Amino acid sequence: MRERRIPRTIFCALALACLGHGQQPPVPVQQLPALPPPRAGFSFPQKQTLTYTVDWRVFSAGTAVIHFEEAGDREKLSADANTVGAINMLFHASDHFQSSFDRTKGCTYQFDKQTVEGKRQINSTLKMDYAQGKSIFDEKNLVNGQSKHVESPIPSCMTDLLTGVFYASSQPLEIGHNFMMPVVDAMHNVPVTMKVEAREVVKTTLGTFKTIRAQPTADSGVVKNRGNIWIWYTDDERHLPVQMRARLFWGTITFRLVGNENK
């Protein structure tokens, strides 16, 4: 059923999870690019809440709320994605994600995910042990009780699927200048290239924004070779994501920023 893919794509468009691995083997740790540090003078929000509406074609499909919270030398990033309206009646989804990362280097230390999609309920935790050079992934299916434990080698600093969208704000974002970042996943480490493509004007209910459009790509295939992702960042020092879009073979999911509060 096509509609069942929509709530799963809410997270896919929200995060870099759309970057599929296809049938490619894992990338060796020594071949992963280094995570570039945040640019001089950039700082992540001490406290901020971003609210996005999510549309599928011409229909309202859901909402996503992103919250930043300073915690000493780390930043806590949480996200809640929920289906609404007719989509919610067809296939309910309510997902929660949380990441903890280094404010000065961008390195992720932990990424948690609680997923409720129809009858599917899964909790997972991904921890990065940089001293031991490995990631530790634990997952539990709350419906059938099955568990999974995976340990994988990692380099000295990586971002995660969710944080990567906002970590990119810490980079210069110059037109024609691409940069790479290693993204940690449960089963694979993915080298992601952010292609900084063009300047465009984006309108939301919050106003009209001058933006820089970027496209994250991976050699192993984007959305398993079924589509593309774009992110529009404000063309200023904040580089705030005001629009995100995943164009898939069955339709397009678009996030638009409708709320920005310092709380």
What pLDDT, in 10s, does the model give residues 19-59? 655 545 667 888 899 999 999 999 999 999 999 999 887 77
State the Cα–Cα distance between residues 134 and 183, nearest whole angstrom. Answer: 13
Please report whether residue 78 resides in a domain: yes
pLDDT tens digits for 209-229? 999 999 998 875 444 455 688
Domain count of the fold of the chain:
1
Please report whether residue 262 resides in a domain: no
Please report whether residue 50 resides in a domain: yes
Please report whether residue 263 resides in a domain: no
Strands 179-184 and 159-160: parallel
Look up residue 123 and give its amino acid: N
Residues spanned by the domain of 71: 2-257
Please report whether residue 58 resides in a domain: yes
In this prediction, residue 118 carries a pLDDT of: 77
Please report whether residue 189 resides in a domain: yes
- Return the SS3 of 246: strand
Are the C-beta atoms of 122 and 142 separated by less than 8 Å? yes
DSSP string, 165-229: HHHGGGS---TT--EEEEEE-SS-EEEEEEEEEEEEEEEETTEEEEEEEEEEEETT-SGGGTEEE
Q: What is the pTM of this model?
A: 0.90
Residue with tokens 């096509």: 2
Please report whether residue 10 resides in a domain: yes
Please report whether residue 49 resides in a domain: yes
